[in-house]
Structure 1
């Protein structure tokens, strides 16, 4: 079947019962938004109810959605818990909004605790046990120890993603697993390393794309401060070069913690050197956040870029099945190395006074040097 004659297909189940046939003649639109990190995937369904024959579903019911094309295997997009139901009397429309079934309220309840000298694998396992989830931690992080970190009036998912920011990783929940995996390196949901597969995305007539290139040299590096237990002096590590380094506001408990945080931020800066948005007239529901793409039909040098997917919106409606993509450059650059004086420089007193002391391991907000 030619691209122009492809027919979208989908399946929707409600608490395990297939309701596709019930909603098919009434479906106005269906969209799924996927993003990396603590933001829950979101499902929106608009249903025609001009005759008032449709029942309003209860909040808390679980929907499972699969998308694709007729004649091909559908792609399972996961389960979603309905948390919002809207009804519009005229013209008669029901709107359901549901979010990832695994990222519901318990993980978002604020909590307080501290970890001292514990490995990331231990921290993730502790949180996973609290919520009856299976922990899956990237091999690079499993035995990585954090000198000290506090969770203060902060949800568990936000806490783990704050740790993730320090190590350029993301935490999320999929199919009963609490995942803590690297942003830029290939690992599966089992925590195993996998070759970094790059999908070649060939543009079709009607596709649209927008690219933006930032000044890769707007920052020359990243600096972070650390102070050992019982010490009175703060020390600074620098990744890259000092000239115009971005300074992290947090105070870290060891040189290694500070260096890990600086390296993660430097890699984020490098990836942000170019970003893109793309609208595909023929949707690709098999794409997911953290996937890697190349678009060889673009002009040079964009045709050679490898892109890392940050966010996706798959939409089924009047225009068929479409996919919107947001991404950034996948290559963090080869220059993410410590400077010669990394870990050795002590800040001037006035620089130290400018910093917000805070708790060691606190928020990773940044400020320019």
Structure 2
């Protein structure tokens, strides 16, 4: 199904319960790896959705309205799915995994609410961004509430390791966001700095999610955290590739939006390494400041592709996927481990 990755978790659970086994097996063959993975944990995802509703509840009525505008807008639930699959793969069945999965999604929601204000994003998940409907102040403060509720929920689990590792991840996420904003418009961004940003901005939360907040056996937590970190790298690189290659993304983000905002990502960094003359063009464009000349931007995007920047970035993403799958060898074979492997492979395949 071409759009099945956007189906709400409760819809997938309903399908799994109402179809007979033969029909489910036939349908699974047509599902994307993301949808197949969601189907494997569909009943648990229903619990996560309920927990999310509880965590977004507040006697201040506007908070669940603003938070729910994004949280229940049909996202892929990648982080909760990863948490639940990892718990299955590590044979961890405590109900605490549901709270960890919900907290991970709430943290992700907070970053999106903040990002859309900073980047002046107009669309998110097929609908107007929350800040356009409710204003920048309410969007930012609701994002803060999401952070606070996620931290509170994990703290109430009574597991010091979980809250400590979550605090570490949130600190890294904040560092990544600040670093990305600080270097925006700097034409000499190099690979090391790029990876510093994406490790903190994207990989840290996925690594915490896939390690199930480090509540599982330490040996398995270490392997799954490595898996999540490598998947996080690949995930962000894939998004950066798509930004160069599609005219319009599902979020409503236009082609080349990252560069339009002064963000020099891996495809451009590699293209400049392959063809140093591109650095001069990039520097000249960025020094003009916003708004960029759209014709010049389109030409630069095409030159990045012609120089092999997308191909090089795709090879880097694949290397991270391979490392993620290698990390899973520490866990026993199971359908959940297989689903985690398929999810990792799909990250690169969606850029083709």
- Report the TM-score when normalising by structure 2: 0.25
Going by fraction, where is strand more abundant, 1 or 2?
1
Going by fraction, where is helix more abundant, 1 or 2?
2
Q: Tell me which structure has the larger Cα radius of gyration.
A: 1
